[in-house]
Structure formats: C-alpha cells, structure tokens
Amino acid sequence: MERDKERLKPKRRQSLNRPPEGDVGDVVVQIEGLWTKFGRTVVHQDLNLDIYAGEIMSIVGGSGTGKTVLLRQMLGLESPTKGTVRVFGEDVSSAQAEQLQQMRNHWGMLFQEGALYSALSVFDNIALPLRELRALPEDVIYDAVMLKMDMVGLGLEHANKMPADLSGGMVKRAALARALALEPQLLFLDEPTAGLDPDLSDAFVDLIQTLHRELKLTVVMVTHDLDTLFALSSRIAVLAEKHVIAIGPTRDVLEVDHPFIKQFFLGERGQRALEVLDDRDAEMDTEE
C-alpha cells in the first residue's frame, strides 16, 4: 500500500532557487510571471527571475529555449505576452519610448551579431551612443572614446579603421567599448565569446572580470561556453521546461538533478571547465 503510494507520486525533478551569496545589493532586473507566446508556440511559461546589483548572472539553456528573447525583453525590444519585466524598478514593457530611451542610457548591450556598424569607423561606432543621446561637444566625445578604447585594450591606432579591417577579437572589444560608452550600470552580453579562439576568449573573460571589478557593473550574460560561464558567473540561471528550473551559484546548480543540467555541464567539456572553476576558487582563497 505504502509502496503503491510512493509509486503514484509524480516524479519530482529537483529545482533550485538560491539568492546570491554575501552582501546582496538591490534587485536590478525583476521578471515576474512572464509568458511568451509566438502563435501557438509557448516559449516562456510563468518565468520568474531576479538579478541583483553587482552580480554576473549567466543564463543557460538549450537552443531555442528563449534566452535571446528574454534578453530582448529586458532591453524593451520585445514585449512579453504576459507578466512584467522591471529594470531598475521600471516596467520595461509598458514604458513610453522616451522613457525607455532614458533607461537605456544606464545599460549597455553587446550582441553576437551585427556588433558594429560596418559603414562607420571604430571611433564613430563607439561615439554613436554619445552622439545619439547627449548633446556633447566633440572634444568631450573624443576623450570619452579614447578612454573606452583604452579600457577595453584596443590600441588607439585602430580608431580610424573600418570594422571589416579588424580581427574578430578586436570587433568584440570595439563593440564592448561602444556598450560601455555611456558608462552603464548594467551590461547585457549575448554569447560574448562565441567565434573567438580560446586565447582571445580567455582575454575577453579577463577583460569582463576587470571591468566588473572596477566599474561594479551588473552583468547579464547568455553563453554556451562553459569556460566563460565558470570563470565569470556569480550565479547561473538554467532555462528549461519554459522557465527557470534552477538558479544559484555554479556549484549548487551543478548538483541539481535534471537531464538538461547533466547533459550540459557534465561530460568531458564540463570536466575541463570545472578545473577552471577550481583554479578560480583557489586563486580567490589566496587573495583573501
């Protein structure tokens, strides 16, 4: 009888919802009861996600689980079918165009594709947000662009080059410099290291780490790259079954018993990346 009951219980997969460790800042991005439908296809179903100030939050999930759509909803580029997305306390989906533009002054975005305008030089690409959003004198813009190029380690001699004349790594740096042009408090990265070879990818990770430390940015990142994920994330949110099934520090997420998590993190690639995580923890221990 008891055993029958046991058998009839629906099989429960483990889920996880852990806030960040240590001193927690304000909630910067708050997603509540979010649904996204395209025709009959349900992409997100009652999805909830809180991202706190100063975190590097990584979002992972299988292809087509709606990670990019979710980022676009946080940026106010798309509206959810139902539910709310608040950024710095403001409801992004109901904001007026002008208000949204104001809000965008406080965040930067780096997209995998179309990262730079091909018809504009590196300088003009980075200057664009400054020119668009603030009536600044050219010499102020010049100084700001140079500062950002320096910050991302892009030699000033590249300022007048066209995007087509840059290597992949330099394009990413220039796009990051543009994302940082308005000194955002919040930075969105969609697959920042995709298409970079491992050395460049490591350099990019170091760069994000330094910027995060120095500018105290909140970072929201989507990535398939485990090395990047383990090296940078304060927490990881796992998107599966149309919502966030697990959110927490990397090691806690790895312990969640869910087929996607097993498949994504464990395996050879995962083992190698875990060593990176161990190294990082060891480094942090010696710093303390």
Question: Which residues make up the interface to Mg ion (CB under 5 A)?
Answer: 68
Q: Does 129 bind ligand ATP (CB under 6 A)?
A: no
Radius of gyration of the chain (CA): 20
Provide the strand spans (E) within the chain: 16-17, 27-38, 41-52, 56-61, 82-87, 90-91, 107-110, 186-190, 218-222, 235-240, 243-248
| Range 261-285 burial, b when 16+ CB lie within 10 A, else e | beebbeeeebeebbebbeeeeeeee
Which of the listed partners (ligand ATP, Mg ion, none) does 147 bind, with a CB threshold of 5 to 8 Å by partner kind?
none
67 or 172: CB nearest ligand ATP: 67
Nearer Cβ to ligand ATP (162/194): 194
* Choice between 141 and 222, CB closer to Mg ion: 222
Is residue 44 close enough to count as binding ligand ATP by CB under 6 A? no
Task: Check: CB of residue 61 under 8 Å from CB of residue 245.
Answer: no
Q: Can residue 96 be called a binding residue for ligand ATP (CB under 6 A)? A: no
Given the complex with ligand ATP, which of 69 and 128 has the nearer CB atom?
69
Residue 235, contacted partner among Mg ion, ligand ATP, none, CB below 5-8 A by kind: none
Which of 29, 43, 189, 229 forms a contact with ligand ATP (CB under 6 A)?
43
Q: How far is the CB of 41 from ligand ATP (least distance, A)?
A: 6
Contact 260, 61 (CB under 8 A): yes
Q: How far is CA 65 from the centre of its chain?
A: 15
Please give the Cα distance from 109 to 103 (Å, whole number). Answer: 13
Among 29, 47, 51, 66, binds ligand ATP (CB under 6 A): 66
96 binds, among Mg ion, ligand ATP, none (CB under 5 to 8 A by kind): none
| Pairwise CA distance, residues 49 & 30, whole Å | 6
Residues that bind ligand ATP (CB under 6 A): 38, 43, 61, 63-69
